[in-house]
């Protein structure tokens, strides 16, 4: 049960940090919309993320969010990472793949994000302990 909560926390934190980063953005070049892609690996949460995508896109004319929840998300993500075709945001839990991504330094460092101050320090310690090579 703790791992499910941690996975949800990590996913929510990543989504919040990324969406807040883009929320203040203006239109892209020449008035084009900014495209944001989120790939998350929990197909059982796909319906929820479809609602998030619809609600976000309905309230942001200058940003378009696309959320996908493929059945074999980890294989798809790993293949895309090898090809250097990174989605803007990924939603993953605290499994071994998270450790691999952290240790490969392919995830953005959000340690200076001010919103971390409102997260229970115990959760942050757990997230840090998931790294194969702790910093």
Domain spans of the chain, in order of start? 2-129
CA separation for the pair 103, 2 (Å, rounded): 23
Which pTM value belongs to this model? 0.69
Tell me what pLDDT residue 64 has: 97
Over residues 4-46, the pLDDT tens digits come to 444 444 454 555 444 444 444 444 566 789 999 999 988 889 9
Q: Are 118 and 90 in contact (CB under 8 A)?
A: no
CATH code of 2-129, in short, is 3.40.190.10
Start-to-end CA distance of the chain, whole Å, equals 26
Both tokens of 13, joined, read: 């934190």
Q: Are 93 and 6 in contact (CB under 8 A)?
A: yes
DSSP letter at 55?
Answer: H
Both tokens of 76, joined, read: 């798809």
Q: Kindly report the CA angle at 84 between 79 and 85, in degrees rounded to 5? A: 75
Mean pLDDT of 65-82: 93
CA separation for the pair 132, 101 (Å, rounded): 10
CA distances from 80 to 43, 73, 84, 88, 116 (A): 18, 10, 6, 12, 28
């Amino acid at each position: 049960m703790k791992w499910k909560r941690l996975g949800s926390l990590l996913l929510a934190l990543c989504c919040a940090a990324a969406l807040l980063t883009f929320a203040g953005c203006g239109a892209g070049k020449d008035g084009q919309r900014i495209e944001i892609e989120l790939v998350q690996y929990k197909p059982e949460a796909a319906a929820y993320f479809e609602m998030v995508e619809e609600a976000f896109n309905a309230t942001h004319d200058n940003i378009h969010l696309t959320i996908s929840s493929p059945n074999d998300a980890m294989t798809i993500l790993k293949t895309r990472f090898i090809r250097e075709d990174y989605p803007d945001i990924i939603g993953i839990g605290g499994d071994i793949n998270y450790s691999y991504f952290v240790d490969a330094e392919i995830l953005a460092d959000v340690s200076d994000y001010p919103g971390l101050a409102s997260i229970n320090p115990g959760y942050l310690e757990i997230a840090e302990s998931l790294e194969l090579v702790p910093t």
